[in-house]
Structure 1
């Protein structure tokens, strides 16, 4: 029997159905990995190849005192079933990775329809011609906020403002080494990007076999295809300084937006000024030409600094580039700056960050400028018992209409029952404060969980 099939057969029926439904709708991401390795390149497989399969299941009972996130909202008990799967394959010229997590949520009091959430990251890398020609295939499913200006999803936030993003990519490329100090990577990348089609936020499938996720029946919203030609080069000028330069040409074809070409040449460098510190900068113009004849030019940059000081690591990142906006289907310009500091002690760790971001206005009203402070602390009370606390905020710094601030906090305990099982309890808090409106709301959630891997 196939090892993966043997492991999957151990999952409970509902958990397995949750996993199967996600993989079926992902155009065969899991099958892409296994069939690609076995059928496309049998000559690359080695007897000494390393394979690792880890599957898991978790159960949770949560109480949410404001399920629909409204003023004086109604509470409910929620049962969670959380299957997971990790698969890794490595050989001389082949590597494959698959990571899946699911979360089936059943609302005991019927305050909301059942919800089915999935995340998946599947990747296959092949060395078609050793040290010269390569092929990367990937599929990624993850939750994102409906408005890009909300930034990255806050860990364990409720799904009321979210949708699902699915990106499938194929990229053949080659690498050249014309000299000891020069490396070139050039190729083509095809990407299919789509979002979940929603009936209404918070309305999930009521069928026994899990649907896509909250109120979403198909990945058919804001569908677009991207074709990208790229060439990136690195030249080691000295042992400490590396020159970076390249060019990218993007063609996007969309069902709901105007098609366009985008040119992005860049020049930059990477400097390792000490054993514990480095800085990297890339910058250049971005010229966008639409099929309607419109042209626009924006400036692109990517910069990062990292410095280690004893137990502390200091970081600073800056980015100006286009990003996907799920709600409008447009590419919008984003500028962001993030400073962070992390400390590692004998039995604890502390990470804090402060971010600022500006976004081009979307077709819908909403904030375009945000401050995002955050902090997370983890402490090992014993070898098996860990405590954690986290706080973060999204502070509206310049809305065109309504101004909303969001505050998050969580704390919890996790206890390792054995090397493969654990139990935990977590409390989470969320507050949304909208200026000039009386429909502000607060959400309190407490959850008891048990999980194991095998």
Structure 2
């Protein structure tokens, strides 16, 4: 039986931007739009999984039927822009290993130009399923494991000051509200004031600097955060660039703890005909669904190759996660992977990918690893009408925690029509 209780719909009803956009469009004439498009869609899929509950033992298979009606909308007018999409996701488990599920996926962006080229208001709202573990994203491999629906609403009025033909200053305020359906997620509200300076030294060289103050109220801990940075970007040819940014973060929690750290973000991208090489490193403070902030130090690199009827990518990543404030998390993740896509014939495209992760958790003396493989074929039946077959394989292994060991095979057949 489908759970149609108030709690299922509460998250969707929080969709402030979606409601505002719908009201505006209902009250406005499309004739004022310089660009307008509206596309309904419908997808129906059938999935077989040999481990629907994602257990290490007592595995149970199931067939999952999904129905996904959706819409996408683009509206551009002299003073308003709206770009949005919404998908309703109904899931039926034939063997009743899980109750039927309803979830939503929505993203809406809007911009109001109050005073042309000077005073703007940006609105943004995203409702989707997210992983509750900041160190790994489970949404690509599982429909539900360690996930929650999340709604993030942002509104930001700001001014753009043209100091001279080469310098631009942006100052404003940002309000962001984050809500999680699962009780383990930390709901939070951010109030931020910011200033960002960009100066064009030469047509290929830009200097940037900025400062942001953020006060966060949350269901866990409140804090005040100061971020200041300087940086730059240099384009050394048409498709290649070098960038760098360094700054300092100061955080004061309401329970008295003070944290201060340097952060940075630097890298380059170089294109050689059909091959692009890119390297990136940095320190950033990520919103942790189950805490306030987690410090991530990362190093990544990759190669992207374009050829006649397809593309291929190779990537490597190292990330170290340290939770800031109460709670213990000290996890290092090593990732290597490859992806490829190839057009077999004009109406048939194949794609495949493989990732290997190794996690080092010092606080548990646990080093699990993960293999994740995908393969798919997509056939264009007619304009906007596709048939896609997908296979997903997931394998987790832990030498010390037997419950972490699980293997999952999923086969999915989907029909999708965009009107």
Judge same fold: TM > 0.5, yes or no: yes
- Using the alignment, how far apart are the partners of 2:263 and 2:244 within structure 1? 11
2:312 maps to 350
- Give the secondary structure class of the aligned counterpart of 2:215: strand
Q: Deviation of residue 361 (structure 1)?
A: 4.0
Q: Which residue of 1 aligns with 2:165?
A: 180
Cα deviation 1:127-183 (Å, max 9, x = unaligned): 000010000111112222112122x45534342121222111110001011111101
Q: 1:303 aligns with which of 266, 274, 286?
A: 266
Partner of 1:84: 70
SS at match of 1:426: strand
CA 1:448/1:431 → structure 2, altered by over 3 Å: closer, same or farther? same
SS of 1:160's equivalent in the other structure is: coil
- Displacement after TM superposition at 1:240 (Å): 2.3
User: Structure 1 residues 270, 25: closer, same or farther in 2, change over 3 A?
Assistant: same
Counterpart check, 1:95 vs 2:59 = no
Contact kept, 8 Å, 1:22 with 1:118, in 2: the verdict is no
Distance 2:187 2:198 in 1: 34
Secondary structure of residue in 1 paired with 2:207? strand
Determine the structure 2 residue equivalent to 1:70.
Answer: 55
* Residue 229 (1) aligns with residue 193 (2): yes
- Residue in structure 2 matched with residue 383 of structure 1 by the alignment: 346
What is the 5 A alignment of 1:270-289? 270-289=233-252
* Aligned partner (choices 106, 113, 121) of residue 135 of structure 1: 121
Please say which of residues 96-105 and 226-235 is displaced more in the overlay.
Answer: 96-105
C-alpha distance in 2 between matches for 1:364 and 1:393 = 28
**Deviates most, 152-161 or 271-280:** 152-161
1:305–1:316 contact (8 Å) kept in structure 2 = yes
Change (3 A) 1:409 1:242: same
Distance 1:366 1:174, change over 3 A: closer
Equivalences, count: 409
- C-alpha change, 1:183 and 1:115, in structure 2 (3 Å) is same
User: Is the contact made by 1:127 and 1:135 (CA closer than 8 Å) also made in structure 2?
Assistant: yes
As a proportion of its length, which structure holds more strand? 2
1: CA distance, partners of 2:328 / 2:263: 25
- Residues 56 and 84 of structure 1 are in contact (CA less than 8 Å); yes or no, is this contact kept in structure 2? yes
Query: Tell me, which stretches of 5 or more residues in structure 2 are unaligned?
Result: 3-7
What secondary structure does 1:149 align onto?
coil
Residue in 2 that maps onto 1:394: 357
| Correspondence for 2:147 | 162
5 Å-filtered alignment, 1:12-51, equals 21=9, 24-36=12-24, 47-51=32-36
Give the counterpart of 1:320 among 275, 283, 287. Answer: 283
**8 Å contact 2:186–2:218 — kept in the other structure?**
yes
Q: Deviations over 1:107-135 (max 9, x none)?
A: 10011112223221111101000010000
Find the aligned partners of 2:219 and 2:360 in 1 and give their Cα distance: 33
Within 1, Cα distance between the matches of 2:385 and 2:14?
A: 29
Distance 1:423 1:223 in 2: 39
Determine helix, strand or coil for the equivalent of 1:245: strand
1:318, distance to aligned residue in structure 2 (A): 2.2
TM-score when scaled to structure 1?
A: 0.85
Whether 1:423 and 2:387 are equivalent positions in the alignment is yes
Segments of 5+ residues of structure 1 without an aligned counterpart are 1-13, 15-19, 200-220
CA displacement at 1:24 relative to structure 2: 4.0
CA–CA distance in structure 1, aligned partners of residues 70 and 10 of structure 2: 12
Q: Distance in 1 between matches of 2:172 and 2:273?
A: 41
Q: Is the 8 A contact 2:377 2:389 kept in 1?
A: yes
SS in 1 for 2:135: helix
Work out whether residues 138 and 146 of structure 2, in 8 Å CA contact, stay in contact via their aligned partners in 1: no
- Alignment pair present for 1:447 and 2:405: no
Q: Is the 8 A contact 2:17 2:123 kept in 1?
A: no
Does the aligned pair in 1 maintain the 2:15–2:153 contact within 8 Å? no
Q: Tell me: CA distance 1:32–1:185, structure 2 relative to 1, closer, same or farther (3 Å).
A: same
Comparing 406-415 and 360-369, the one that deviates more: 360-369
d(CA) in 2 for partners of 1:47, 1:68:
51
> Are the aligned partners of 1:23 and 1:30 in contact in 2 as well (CA < 8 Å)?
no
User: Which of residues 199, 203, 217 in structure 2 aligns to 1:239?
Assistant: 203
2:180 to 182, 185, 195: 195
* Equivalent residue for 2:256, pick from 279, 293, 300: 293
The 8 Å contact of residues 283 and 302 in structure 1, kept in 2 or not, is answered as yes
| TM-score w.r.t. length of structure 2 | 0.91
